């Protein structure tokens, strides 16, 4: 019977566990960006609110992509509990700084998962992770470019609204 259970999944227990941990990271990112969207909306920063709402949706899509992958490989994906999401932020710039820190953390997580997949010789999952690693290049790039708006424009006077107006024009140039 134990041998039959092994046929159910082609994921090792370790790989399944780290993918479920990443599902939780993506869910946390989605909730964090949704909170950032609400904060920006409260501040009257409509474009930033829309930006973070879109980011929240993307992170949820990433979570579901991993969730469905685990399921399709015969594993048991776990719907995560998300807690400790801030509802208030210190500053407009601080929101984007925190977003960059979050994206850099996510990149580290995907690099760690890829490393573990290589060590486990799980090349199928390693290949699956390639899309996420490429996506992280874009996510970090956009966050850095938006932070440059703060350096160039500044937040004084109408600076916050100028930054909010210009951030919709920031796109990934690496494609």
CB proximity list for 69: less than 8 A, separation 6 or greater: 19, 125, 128
Domain 10-169 has CATH 3.40.640.10: no
pLDDT of amino acid 2: 53
Interatomic CA distance for residues 123 and 75, integer angstroms: 16
pLDDT of amino acid 163: 93
State pLDDT tens for residues 113-152.
Answer: 999 999 999 999 999 999 999 999 999 999 999 999 999 9
Confirm whether pTM is higher than 0.85: yes
Helix residue ranges per DSSP H, the chain = 2-8, 13-42, 46-72, 92-119, 123-153, 159-166
State pLDDT tens for residues 91-103.
Answer: 999 999 999 999 9
Interatomic CA distance for residues 164 and 49, integer angstroms: 9
Handedness of CA 74, 75, 81, 85 (dihedral sign): negative
Short-list 50, 27, 45, 170, CA closest to 109: 27
């Amino acid at each position: 019977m134990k041998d039959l259970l092994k046929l159910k999944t082609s994921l090792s227990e370790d790989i399944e566990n780290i993918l479920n941990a990443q599902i939780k990271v993506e869910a946390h990112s989605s909730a964090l960006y949704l909170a950032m969207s609400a904060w920006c909306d409260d501040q009257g920063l409509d474009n930033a609110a829309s930006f973070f709402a879109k980011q929240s949706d993307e992170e949820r899509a990433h979570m579901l992509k991993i969730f469905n992958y685990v399921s399709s490989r015969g594993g048991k994906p776990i719907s995560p509990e998300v807690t400790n999401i801030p509802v208030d932020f210190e500053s407009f710039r601080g929101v984007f700084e925190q977003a960059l820190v979050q994206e850099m953390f996510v990149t580290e997580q995907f690099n760690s998962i890829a490393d573990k997949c290589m060590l486990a010789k799980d090349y199928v999952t390693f290949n699956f992770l390639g899309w996420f690693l490429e996506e992280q290049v874009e996510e970090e790039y956009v966050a850095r470019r938006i932070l440059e708006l703060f350096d160039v424009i500044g937040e004084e006077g109408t600076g916050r609204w100028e930054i909010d107006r210009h951030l919709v024009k920031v796109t990934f140039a690496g494609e």
